[in-house]
Structure 1
Amino acid sequence: AAQTKLGWRGKHTLLLNREAGSYFFLGEIYLGLPLAPDEPASAHCGTCTACLEACPTGAFVAPYVLDARRCISYLTIEHKGSIPVELRPLMGNRIYGCDDCQLVCPWNREAPHAALPDFDPRHGLDSATLAELFSWDENTFLKRMEGSSIRRIGHERWLRNIAVALGNAPGSPVTLAALESRSQHPSPLVREHVEWALRQHYG
């Protein structure tokens, strides 16, 4: 994409465009014709390191180099197994993705909102608590996430992620009751993360 002058590769490894920042999708067309690449777009990050400094888990080992194994977006969305114990406290209350590196990027401050309604913010969960989300059974999860990309991680990883967030949340009777309600969950993955979360509160 950089060779078509769509933008330049930022220090957070994402493509940056002067008008859209990094908030856009890339598409491609397969052709049977040989096309010469354009001259790459010049980079415009300068001395800025905001994205590198904002990463909660220190996933950027150097400018333009991301260790995906430490990236919260990878851990909460793509990773299917146990989340490394040392990274769990750094995840805070993030249960699906992160994007801190994009949020602090100066090129994204003036990025325009997408014109398509599909990209409008969805406010159906604005008031939901972690305990409430953790109480959803699989049918509720599938129903409430219909049409959302969140649905693809499945109910098991949804519970895994929320268990970590509850472990990082302030201790309260509601938080503890939510975790204890899943302490005998049939999934070993869920149980492991619930047990970890309970240890954060009980010691």
Structure 2
Amino acid sequence: MNLIFDLGNVLVRWDPVAITRSVVPGPGAVRLAEHLFAHSDWLDVDRGVLTLEQATARAVERTDVDEHIVAGAFAAVAPSLQPLPESVALLRELQSQGHALYALSNMGHDSAHWLAQHAPFWDAFRGVVISAQEQLIKPEAALFERLLQRYALSAAECVFIDDSQANVDAARALGMTALHFTDAASCRAELVQLGALPA
């Protein structure tokens, strides 16, 4: 079975407010997280068409927040992507069962490079497709198709796991089995039902 994992909030922590709190303690962190990570510029970073330096300059102009604060928040993103232990244990269990494991994630170049260097589970993947490197972004069908084509996978033989319902729906539309991730235990139970793991 081919199992395709999203990364943020599936295998690694993704918490924009915690990131901004690391540079702006106090109530302003929530608003800053919205300005930086809920803005279309952040999607363009994930798409690989905007660098962090360009995103920083645009955010400073847009918000009047000091440049060192914005730059500090963006610099804190990659190291904040810490493994979720229960999810990594599930990944390793699937690996031990002989399943082919892949990653498909919306992520900027800097974060992807950091994970490739530091994530203790990176060796489990037979292939990785990152949005910024393809200049495509989930839930666009073309990004899913890029992974299928690159690794010669059949959609019908893939299980896709993501915390975004929109991405899950996009995968299903292409013929994949797709699971909406909420936590590792629930995901494991669904994988048992699919026959990917023993009960």
> Structure with the greater relative contact order (CA < 8 A, sep ≥ 6): 1 or 2?
2
State TM-score, norm by structure 2: 0.26
Larger Rg over CA atoms: 1
TM-score by length of 1: 0.26
Between structures 1 and 2, the one with greater helix share: 2
